[in-house]
Structure 1
Amino acid sequence: MQIWIDADACPNPIKTIICRVAIRRQIFTIFVANQWLTLPKSAYIKMQQVAKGYDIADLVIVEHVQPNDLVITADIPLAAEVLNKQAKVLTPRGQNYTLDTIKEILTMRDFMETMRASGIQTGGQAPFSSKDRENFANQLNKFIS
């Protein structure tokens, strides 16, 4: 198993948790982003910088992910694609997406996008919190165990 991180929008506290787990558990981990990230030096952590552009990082992850790899992303279409490749998905807030749940999540995302496009104010996600960080760490430990 490898861990792939859609790192452009991944909160820094989550990157820190992932790095600690990668080093401690000796799991090869790849951060994919369109800007260079400063990460701990480790044989288990790799930074893959991609060109700037719409979904370039997503395409790299989809191309290289293998069955049973873990992908960390909040990007719902990316999650659907890697789930179809039999990888696992965890959001930075600790939500586990599965093939059983992703269709409903995609439908809700598309519905909300349509609402926003028609001028309806839908609000957004709550700010990232310490509870989100704790939830992510707990779920990551479950995946790794």
Structure 2
Amino acid sequence: MYQNKGETPLLHIFIDADSCPVKQEVYRVASRYQLEVTLVANSRMQVPSDQRVTLMVVHGGFDAADDWIVEHAGTRDIVVTADVLLADRCLKKGALVVGPTGKPFTEQSIGSAVAARNLMAELRSSGEITGGPPPLKKQDRSCFLHQLDAMIQSIRRTHPADCG
């Protein structure tokens, strides 16, 4: 589990940051709960000047950021990503995972999410589908905030001594 300071494993939020549209929402929620946030990206980006927010720039290929997140995320952590394969790997490590639209990835839903992802990739490669996901709506951001808050509360109820 990734720890910036101290020796006690604390609830930590990891963001798959290169194309994450809800970074500002994560900053607000993390600030309210005084949680540490690590953005993991393949290139530099601007982050708030807050000691609890860290940018980890990784190099080494297409999945380097994903690999870093999987290596450091654990059972008292939340991962924010739209990447279904990364979500699957993080769930196997015991982390809670939420997508930018607020949809949680769970052990029960990940299998069908991986299958749908593979189907869409096949349709895109054959040219039957072009473009990416639709832009986030205000309702998506609201759902994300609600789900992130619920996940934090769940971890705090399960591990109250570890949550600061």
| Residue in structure 2 matching 1:15, options 17, 20, 23 | 23
> How far does the alpha carbon of each residue in 1:23-61 deviate from its partner, in whole angstroms, 9 at most, with x for none?
221111100011212111222111111126301110100
Distance in 2 of aligned mates of 1:100 and 1:117: 28
Structure 2 match to 1:98: 106
| Residue in structure 2 matching 1:31, options 39, 45, 51 | 39
Q: CA 1:118/1:2 → structure 2, altered by over 3 Å: closer, same or farther?
A: same
Structure 2 match to 1:116: 124
What TM-score comes out, normalization by structure 2 length?
A: 0.81
- Give the letter for the 1:3 counterpart: I
What is the aligned residue count? Answer: 143
Structure 1 match to 2:14: 4
Distance in 2 of aligned mates of 1:94 and 1:15: 13
* Identity across the alignment (%): 39
Q: CA deviation at 1:118?
A: 2.6
> In structure 2, the residue corresponding to 1:100 is in which secondary structure?
coil
Q: CA deviation at 1:116?
A: 2.4
- Give the letter for the 1:38 counterpart: Q
Distance in 1 of aligned mates of 2:131 and 2:18: 22
Q: CA 1:36/1:107 → structure 2, altered by over 3 Å: closer, same or farther?
A: same
Q: CA deviation at 1:124?
A: 4.1
Distance in 1 of aligned mates of 2:64 and 2:119: 25
Extract unaligned runs of 5+ from structure 1. none
Q: CA deviation at 1:119?
A: 3.0
Structure 2 match to 1:76: 84
Structure 1 match to 2:68: 60
Question: When you count helix as a share of all residues, which structure comes out higher?
Answer: 1
Contact 1:112 1:122 in 2 (8 A): no
> In structure 1, the residue corresponding to 2:89 is in which secondary structure?
helix
Structure 2 match to 1:41: 49
Distance in 2 of aligned mates of 1:21 and 1:45: 12
- Give the letter for the 2:48 counterpart: P
